[in-house]
Amino acid sequence: MMKLFYAPGVCSLSPHIVLKESGLPFELVRTDIKAKTTEGGGDYKKTNPLGYVPALGLDDGTILTEGPAIVQYIADKVPEKKLAPANGTLDRYKLQSWLNFVSSELHKGFSPLFNPAMPEAAKQIAKDRLAARFAHLDAHFAKHNYLMGNDFSLPDAYAFTVLRWTAPTKIDLAPYPHIQAFMQRMQARPAVQAAMTAEGLGGDAPR
Ligand SMILES: N[C@@H](CCC(=O)N[C@@H](CS)C(=O)NCC(=O)O)C(=O)O
């Protein structure tokens, strides 16, 4: 059975949601990303030498890392669930474009805000960069329910996961009503609720 190495509320929530959407069986392995241990005290760096989550353990012993690759692997196991367009189509590249946007512009855009060593001025620069990207997303969600259009797909799980971090970083989403509506739409999905409950997250839980 696939094993998802995760920590509550961090970016591993994205593949967790996708696993729930897929309906495939999987095991969760809780990881302490500061101590670099797995539940039971194992050395997590033996699983991922970089010490970060998510990582997906496959039946043949392969460890797949990097969120955007993990979610595509899961989606391609269940094509009938339409979590991603077929490989080789233009829509698949559009989906990869969104995954990369969420990864490098949003996810890593938040990182300075979680770094206690980062000076306040640098945090403000990071917030200003995020604001420009939020405006872009808000305009998108004014016209579309999901990143790929009318239907849920992989980058929505990732965007939902990282946009939740606006709560602990005290970024007000009020200027972005269409992002707020997207977050509510996502939160209403049974797979999202199931993943959040399994991670012990409330509606407004921190990273
Ligand atoms: N490039 C990785 C980054 C994953 C990442 O940033 N993981 C964070 C949680 S959101 C983590 O485990 N941080 C602990 C650390 O870097 O030591 C990916 O996209 O999957």
What is the position in ligand 1's atom list of the atom closest to the CA of 103?
Answer: 19
Distance 59 CA to ligand 1 centre (A): 23
**143, two tokens:** 């016209």
Q: Is 103 in the pocket of ligand 1 (CB under 6 A)?
A: yes
Residues 4-60 pLDDT 10s: 999 999 999 999 999 999 999 999 999 999 999 999 899 999 999 999 999 999 999
Q: Using the atom order of ligand 1, give the atom closest to the CA of residue 67.
A: 20
Tens of pLDDT, residue by residue over 170-191, are: 999 999 999 999 999 999 999 9
What are the DSSP calls for 28-94, one per residue? EEEEETTTTEETTS-BGGGT-TT--S-EEE-TTS-EEESHHHHHHHHHHH-GGG-SSPPTTSHHHHH
Q: How far is CA 75 from CA 56, 66, 164, 198, in A?
A: 13, 15, 23, 21
* Average model confidence (pLDDT) across the chain: 96
- Whether 9 and 205 have beta carbons less than 8 Å apart is answered as yes
Angle in degrees, 0-180, between the axes of helices 190-198 and 177-187, rounded to the nearest 10: 80
Residue (of 89, 106, 205) closest to 157 by Cα position: 106
Distance CA 48, CA 132 (A): 33
Is 8 near ligand 1, meaning CB less than 6 Å away? no
Confidence of residue 207 (pLDDT cuts 50, 70, 90): very low
Best of 4, 6, 11 to mutate for ligand 1, by most ligand atoms within 8 A of CB?
11
Residue 206 pLDDT: 38
- C-alpha of residue 55 to centroid of ligand 1, in Å: 10
CA of 22 to the centre of ligand 1 (A): 23
Distance CA 114, CA 186 (A): 24
Distance separating alpha carbons of residues 19 and 57, to the nearest angstrom: 13
What contacts 26, CB < 8 A, 6 or more positions away? 1, 2, 3, 4, 19
In whole angstroms, what is the distance from residue 52 CA to residue 36 CA? 8
Q: In this structure, which amino acid lies at residue 62?
A: T
Alpha-carbon distance 18 to 16, whole Å? 5
Taking phi over 0 as left and psi of -120 to 50 as alpha, with beta for the rest, 51 belongs to left
Half-sphere exposure of 91 (CA within 13 A, CB side): 11
pTM: 0.96
Give the residue, by CA position, lying nearest to ligand 1 atom 2: 66
* CA-proximal residue: ligand 1, atom 16 (nearest): 52
Ligand 1 geometric centre to CA of 111 (Å): 9
